[in-house]
Structure 1
Amino acid sequence: MVDKIAEVMKRVRESTPLVQCITNYVTVNDVANILICFGASPAMVEVRGEVEEFAAAISALYINLGTLTGEQKEAAIAAARRATELGKPVVLDPVACGAISRKMDVIDRLLECSRIAVIKGNTGEIKSLAGYSGKMRGMDSVDEGEDLPEACRTLAERLNTVVVATGKTDVVTDGRRTCLVDNGTPLFGAITGSGCMAGALVAAAAAVESDLFAASTAAMAAMGVAGEMAAELAGPTTPGTFRVRLFDAVYALTGEEVAKRCRIRLV
């Protein structure tokens, strides 16, 4: 797995995959910048009349339901349908699905019309989707992660997809294989957008690696290692500096560095 992580990161840098993002306006700039730093090319195309034509050009699609407008909803459904027809991976971030019932209606429509390659959410969101009790405060998870690997496997098996749950320890599973990624920093919780950025990196990795379990693990390990490196430079009480350092760390990150520093457990 360690060698695979380095290989995925190298392929992202070499191929510069075009990742279309239909994402929330709170973090749209951070998502675009983290993709550039990772070696991908972001495209924030979310107009209903453009997404189906644009699907032919993309390498992957990232859909984030954070601040979902009516236009975004229709664009996301059309984009996901067309991306699936063209064999492009679709990564879904079901933000606040456990707190807002409208989000579940949109998720159901996406699952009906498209093939979701990866679902990436926080602990509370994933547990809610899996039918477990997930604790949410608005869009943030306050769940301690009890039974999280089991919930992730249940959801992955039910939807035949890869599931990524972010938390103190990230969980990645395709229902058969499960790993825990222990890299990260508490400063992720002190800024907006760390989860959105992680989801975008998953989409970039999925664009170059057909083994979506390996791709998702590589992206989460890269995000976690970059966060640790940024925190070391920024210090524990400077979230604003950490945010800037995070972009720098992802930009300078190599597959070899991630392979050396990653802490991954297969369970």
Structure 2
Amino acid sequence: MADRFDAEGFVKDRLDWIEENKPLIHHITNYVVMNETANATLCLGALPVMAHAVEEVEEMAAQAGALVINMGTPYPDLETAMLAAGKAANRAGVPVVFDPVGAGATAYRTRIARYLLDEVRFAAIRGNAAEMAVLAGVEAEIRGVDSIGVKGEVEDIASSLAESLGCVAAITGEVDVVSDGKRAARVSNGHPLLGRVTGTGCMATTAIAVFLAPGEPYLEATAAGLAVFGLAGEKAAGSSGRLPGSFHVELYNTLYEISTVRKLKGLRVEVS
């Protein structure tokens, strides 16, 4: 049975905290989406930094409000930086969010993802159904970084992965499924145009990180970040003529409007 969850109240409280504290969100992310995720961070009221150099990532991660590790464009030096930053964030008590882009597409990406999951304590992990299924040991088909199909129910995959990793697992799709291994949330916000613009999945991970910065509860915070991003997508689709280029620009506008004017009507989150 779904519990009553005051999504609007929860999101407003988080946005109030973010506005007052302006947390630094440290991204070690891929080159395809660096600009998009930095802008999304700013639109949500937080401060982005894209520090990748091994020489500085530990220092930067330790002073952040949250750390995003995104392996969309992996290479050996970046792998070293992700590990160092993750461990530094763990020591400092900074929540770490993992986006295992393309896990399962190649042996190299899968190895990196599994290694990071073994070595770093993540507060949350977000991926598409195929990426998350692969990490849960479930058969899946992935093409490039896109999910084609999985064997099994996404709710079971999220719950199993969350329980085994001791963190929140979020599988995004037409309906986003979030689990901490004991409880679950379903987020029904979003729009198909989010799948027509590159980087929106990574931006969703950024939204999670921003909402985790104030602290626990991480299940609700993860769901709230996804709901806000999905709601922004819905609003952007309505004001962009449903064209991908215009939608891309409007997505920043609607994220900013949600975070500053607190236009939160329409959030659809169920927690059980």
Post-superposition offset of 1:145: 8.4
1:167 equivalent in structure 2: 173
- Opposite residue 58 of structure 2, the aligned amino acid is E
Can you give the 5+ residue segments of structure 2 that lack an aligned partner in the other structure?
none
1:215 lines up with 2:206 in the alignment: no
1:32-86 deviation line (CA, Å, top 9, x unaligned): 0000000110000000111112223211110101001222111000000111011
Q: In structure 1, what is the Cα distance between the partners aligned to 2:84 and 2:190?
A: 35
1:15 equivalent in structure 2: 21
CA gap of 1:264–1:55, structure 2 versus 1, over 3 A, is closer
1:228 equivalent in structure 2: 234
Q: In structure 1, what is the Cα distance between the partners aligned to 2:190 and 2:39?
A: 19
Asked whether the 8 Å contact 1:99–1:139 carries over to 2, the reply is: yes
Post-superposition offset of 1:6: 2.3
Name the % identity. Answer: 38
2:90 equivalent in structure 1: 84
1:150 equivalent in structure 2: 156
Q: In structure 2, what is the Cα distance between the partners aligned to 1:102 and 1:81?
A: 21
1:61 equivalent in structure 2: 67
Q: In structure 2, what is the Cα distance between the partners aligned to 1:218 and 1:11?
A: 14
1:187 equivalent in structure 2: 193
- Opposite residue 35 of structure 1, the aligned amino acid is T
SS of residue paired to 1:253: helix
SS of residue paired to 2:68: strand
What is the aligned-residue RMSD (CA, Å)?
A: 1.5
TM-score by length of 1: 0.95
Displaced runs of 4+ in structure 1, greater than 3 A? none
1:118-147 deviation line (CA, Å, top 9, x unaligned): 001011111111122222111011237850
Asked whether the 8 Å contact 1:5–1:217 carries over to 2, the reply is: no
Q: Which moved more, 1:48-57 or 1:157-166?
A: 48-57
SS of residue paired to 1:53: helix
SS of residue paired to 1:141: strand
Q: In structure 1, what is the Cα distance between the partners aligned to 2:96 and 2:173?
A: 22
Q: How many residues align?
A: 265
Q: In structure 2, what is the Cα distance between the partners aligned to 1:174 and 1:145?
A: 21
SS of residue paired to 2:178: strand
1:120 equivalent in structure 2: 126
Post-superposition offset of 1:235: 2.2
TM-score by length of 2: 0.93
Q: In structure 1, what is the Cα distance between the partners aligned to 2:174 and 2:99?
A: 18
Asked whether the 8 Å contact 2:196–2:244 carries over to 1, the reply is: yes
Can you give the 5+ residue segments of structure 1 that lack an aligned partner in the other structure?
none
